[in-house]
Chain A
Amino acid sequence: AQTVTQSQPEMSVQEAETVTLSCTYDTSESNYYLFWYKQPPSRQMILVIRQEAYKQQNATENRFSVNFQKAAKSFSLKISDSQLGDTAMYFCAFMSDTGANSKLTFGKGITLSVRP
């Protein structure tokens, strides 16, 4: 069974600065996807960024980028130029690439607060 661990329950960052959120996972699969989801207060969850395990290049989406270390089973999210709207819970998630029946396994999440 796959597990996803987010060991930092809370983080805080000053507006315009950079913050890194950590995530580790455990799996015996070789092909899989990793995700970071954002859940703002009282709002619905949205996908921030996705990484395919077979790709060596780290995924980037505007101010969001990941550091994917496959051997270490580490998948951190870097948010550059933090904005007040980045305040939310962030969840790291794993999905094996075994077909249409694959399911998302989420970590416990981290609460990120961006200070003005």
Chain B
Amino acid sequence: EAGVAQSPRYKIIEKRQSVAFWCNPISGHATLYWYQQILGQGPKLLIQFQNNGVVDDSQLPKDRFSAERLKGVDSTLKIQPAKLEDSAVYLCASSLNGRGMYEQYFGPGTRLTVT
């Protein structure tokens, strides 16, 4: 079974530029998550999708971050414009269902550096 795929793995941009990350979840997984992991901290949930609908985006900085999940499968996360404090690893995860009994599977992450 293929795992969660993310691209790119690394990205370096200057502040005020835009960037987009892509995630392909495990086939059949209804729930998709984007997390932000700042160096030395645990992941923080940015947005959670159930199929192609948003169920939690309470911690997404909506003035600069946006995300979509097309046809309930792949997802993209965009930052426009980027700030220095956006430097982090962006993790995508998926699970069969959003309940705790179902394991969340994580992708390798995209390491973003904003200079």
Interface on A for B, CB 8 Å cutoff?
Answer: 4, 32-33, 43-47, 50, 52, 91, 93, 95-97, 99-109
Contacts and interface: CB of A to CB of B under 8 A. Distances in A.
Contacts of A47: 103-104
Interface in B17-51: 31, 33, 40-45, 48, 50
Which of B4, B42, B103, B108 has most A Cβ within 10 Å? B42
A100 B91 contact: no
B72 interface: no
Nearest to A101: B55
Contacts of A108: 40-42
Nearest to A45: B106
A102 B99 contact: yes
B42 A107 contact: yes
A43 B108 contact: yes
A106 B37 CA distance: 10
A91 B56 CA distance: 22
Given A43-B108, A44-B107, A101 B98 contact: yes
Given A91-B42, A108-B41, A109-B42, A100 B50 contact: yes
Nearest to B4: A44
Given A32-B100, A33-B100, A104 B56 contact: no
Contact of A100 (B43, B55, B104, B108): B55
Contact of B99 (A44, A45, A46, A99): A99
B98 A100 contact: yes
A100 B31 contact: yes
A32 B50 CA distance: 20
Q: Give 9 closest A-B pairs by Cβ, nearest first.
A: A106-B42, A33-B100, A100-B98, A45-B106, A95-B100, A101-B55, A44-B108, A103-B45, A44-B106
Contacts of A103: 33, 45, 48, 56
Nearest to A95: B100
A103 B99 CA distance: 9
Contacts of A52: 100-101
A44 B103 CA distance: 14
Nearest to B107: A44
